[in-house]
């Protein structure tokens, strides 16, 4: 319950730290980019703690949105766009990112942009493997900067593993 005191306090937190400044910067932003590694199918605990502390942006007042209820914001942050980039060490995205994606969508809406990158350790591999993928990442970045979204075609390219899943698993397992 202590965490929710800020919802009764007009956004003022009981903890004397730098969170008010962080919340102020969030409200002044146009884009919040969240980039993190996948930990146990979700976000790392320090990042989750930061997200939990943004509860100060909301009030206890609720409104129904679709089939669920949401807390009403204490400030207008409707101009904010949200982008999640999440990497993991698994050879594929299926059955790995779904919990993190669901949580991000619930927190930031279905119009937020999500990029998942399986085989993230491959960025340490020779350029011949990662160079084509990095070019697709650059394309995604350009598209997002210009239009606020990433095309379906580019997202489809990002979903293709850099190398076959079984080969990636063998490499990670030290098998030759």
28-74 pLDDT, tens digit each: 999 999 999 999 999 999 999 998 888 888 878 889 988 888 888 87
Looking at per-residue pLDDT, the higher value among 125 and 41 belongs to 41
Q: What is the mean pLDDT of residues 120-124?
A: 83
Q: Is the dihedral of CA 13, 40, 103, 143 positive or negative?
A: positive
pLDDT at 1: 46
- For 62, left (φ over 0), alpha (ψ -120 to 50), or beta? beta
Residue 127 has pLDDT above 80, yes or no: no
Q: What is the mean pLDDT of residues 111-126?
A: 86
Its pTM stands at 0.83
Tokens of 120: 């993230």
3-state secondary structure 25-48: HHHHCCEEEEEEECECCECCHHHH
Please report, rounded to a whole number, the percentage of residues in the chain having pLDDT higher than 70. Answer: 90
Mean pLDDT of the chain: 87
Using alpha carbons, list the distances in angstroms from residue 77 to 69, 74, 109, 128, 167. Answer: 18, 9, 13, 42, 45
Residues 6 or more apart whose CB falls under 8 angstroms from that of 39 comprise 45
Under the banding of pLDDT at 50, 70 and 90, the label for residue 176 is low
For the chain, the maximum distance between any two Cα atoms, rounded to a whole number of angstroms, is 60
Under the banding of pLDDT at 50, 70 and 90, the label for residue 116 is very high
Phi–psi pair at 148, nearest 5 degrees: 85, 5
Query: Per mean pLDDT, which range of 55-59, 108-112, 156-160 is the poorest?
Result: 55-59
Helix (H), strand (E) at residue 118: none
Tokens of 12: 């003022």
């Amino acid at each position: 319950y202590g965490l929710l005191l800020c919802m009764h306090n007009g956004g003022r937190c009981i903890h004397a730290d730098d969170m008010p400044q962080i919340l102020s910067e969030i409200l002044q932003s146009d884009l919040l980019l969240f980039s993190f590694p996948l930990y146990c199918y979700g976000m790392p605990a320090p990042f989750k703690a930061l997200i939990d502390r943004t509860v100060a942006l909301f009030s206890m007042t609720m409104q129904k949105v679709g089939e669920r209820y949401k807390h009403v914001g204490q400030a207008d942050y409707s101009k904010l766009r949200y982008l999640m980039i999440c990497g993991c060490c698994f050879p594929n995205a299926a059955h790995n990112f779904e919990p993190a994606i669901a949580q991000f969508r619930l927190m930031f809406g279905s119009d937020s942009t999500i990029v998942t990158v399986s085989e993230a350790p491959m960025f340490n591999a020779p350029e011949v493997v990662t160079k084509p993928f990095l070019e697709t990442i650059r394309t995604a970045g350009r598209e997002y900067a210009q239009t606020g979204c990433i095309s379906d075609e580019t997202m489809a390219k990002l979903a293709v593993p850099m190398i076959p899943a079984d080969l990636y698993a063998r490499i990670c397992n030290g098998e030759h």
